[in-house]
Amino acid sequence: MSDPLRRMLSLHDFEPAAKALLPAPIYAYVSGAVEDGQSERANREAFAEFAFRPKVLVDVSARSTRCTVLGRDYAAPVGVAPMGISAISSYRGDVVLARAAAEAGVPCIMSGSSLIRLETVMEAAPDTWFQAYLPGDEAQIAALIDRVAAAGVNTLVLTVDTPVAANRENNVRAGFSTPLRPSLGLAWQGVTHPRWLFGTFLRTLARHGMPHFENNYATRGAPIMSSSVLRDFSDRGHLNWQHVSAIRRRWNGLMVLKGILHPDDARAARAMGMDAIIVSNHGGRQLDGSVSPLHALPAIMDAVGSMEVMLDSGVRRGTDVLKAMALGARCVFVGRPFNYAATVAGQRGVAHAIALINEEVRRNMGLLGVVDLKELGVEFLQRAGADVSRGR
């Protein structure tokens, strides 16, 4: 059998390969956005609106993709974004993603809506960041934060753009639901996708039992087919800046807010002592019509000064990475393509995907005339025929 990774030449190539392997409801969950998909499309289109102005006759033979994020040196400025229930689209998905990132020397954020215990992932990849979805009351929040600290997590990421459940119509149309509901249609999807059925789902059941949401609380959460799952994921409407302030006082490690799009929220995060923020619209999976993170970035950079700012949503190419960094991002995170890569070839697939985009960054640095990523600035970009300036 030929190696499928030989046909994977860019991050785009992983999606059709994964789609062929996954049951339609699972693929719909990973690939889908919300409502009319405006934000998801805008995330990609935003990168096309910026053009490069390369510098020539620069000795780029010694260029390096190394970068520093939150005081730590990384091999490249491309990390793995948090992705919920990734263990249902690839066997031991959270472990696979974290190990691949650790071996590549890039950051990885584990999702709080994961099906593998945080402690297991931290044992496999000790420097993994953890993204928390805060539970329903202050006592539960405190217990979860204490559990995360006890697991050895140093970087806590609070996702703040999910106060209520999003309107993911595509999931309903494709037969995906939370909780998963057994049906003849779902059974047929399993039978007609035998590699997923035997290599991921039944293998997980045989070795680890029914998947549970392991990390929403200090204690084990509901199984993926439990009727209480929806309640667990919708009880966030009360969360506010006071909760964030209380967590900041309790948490001794690095703390990042993910899901910032408004300059006022960026200023509030800085004033509250956050170490960094991630500019993100959740990959277009929450509020449809929300501004693309790339377009939001210049005004946010003006608002926060020297505070570290990262970005996710829509990044697919090394050129996307360089454009985001030229506008001020310290690094970027990629989600869906790494999930697809895990589906296609497990940890080896994720490693290949990380290497592909990182090599694109290195190659395009040479073509842009950049030796060190710290050289990047708005002078390398032009938008719609005019100079780029922050805040416009």
In the chain, the domains with their CATH numbers are 4-372 (3.20.20.70)
117 is known to lie in a ligand binding site? no
pLDDT band at 385 (very low <50, low <70, confident <90, very high): low
Tell whether residue 258 is among the known ligand binding residues. yes
Q: Rounded to whole angstroms, how far apart are CA atoms 92 and 204?
A: 8
Instruction: Write the pLDDT tens digit of every residue in 201-230.
Output: 999 999 999 999 999 888 888 888 765 555
Residue 131 annotated as binding site: yes
pLDDT for res 175:
83
273 in a known ligand binding site: no
Query: Is residue 159 annotated as involved in ligand binding?
Result: yes
320 is in an annotated binding site: no
In this predicted structure, the answer to whether residue 172 has a pLDDT above a threshold of 60 is: yes
Q: Does the annotation list 227 as a binding residue? A: no
Please check if 243 is assigned to a binding site. Answer: no
- Judged by average pLDDT, the poorest of 27-36, 150-159, 218-227, 358-367 is 218-227
- In this structure, of 41-50, 70-79, 124-133, 378-387, the range with the lowest mean pLDDT score is 378-387
- Per-residue confidence band for 392, with pLDDT thresholds at 50, 70 and 90: very low
pLDDT higher than threshold 50 for residue 391: no
Residue 285 assigned as binding residue: yes
Ordered DSSP codes for 208-223: H-S-B--SSSSS---B
- By annotation, the residues acting in catalysis are 282
Of the pLDDT bands very low, low, confident and very high (cuts 50, 70, 90), residue 192 is very high
pTM of the model: 0.94
pLDDT at 346 over 50: yes
Query: Is 84 annotated as ligand-binding?
Result: yes
* Secondary structure in 3-state letters for 30-77: HHCCCCCCHHHHHHHHHHHCEEECCCCCCCCCCCECCEEECCEEECCC
Averaged pLDDT of the chain: 92
pLDDT more than 90, % of the chain: 80
Q: If we measure between CA atoms, which residue out of 249, 258, 317, 276 comes closest to residue 109? A: 258
Whole-angstrom Cα distance, residue 321 to residue 71?
Answer: 20
Asked if residues 380 and 326 have their Cβ atoms less than 8 Å apart, the reply is yes
pLDDT band for position 195 (cuts 50, 70, 90) = very high
* CA pair distance 109, 98, nearest whole angstrom: 8
DSSP helix/strand/coil, 260: strand
CA distance linking residue 23 with residue 369, whole number of Å:
44
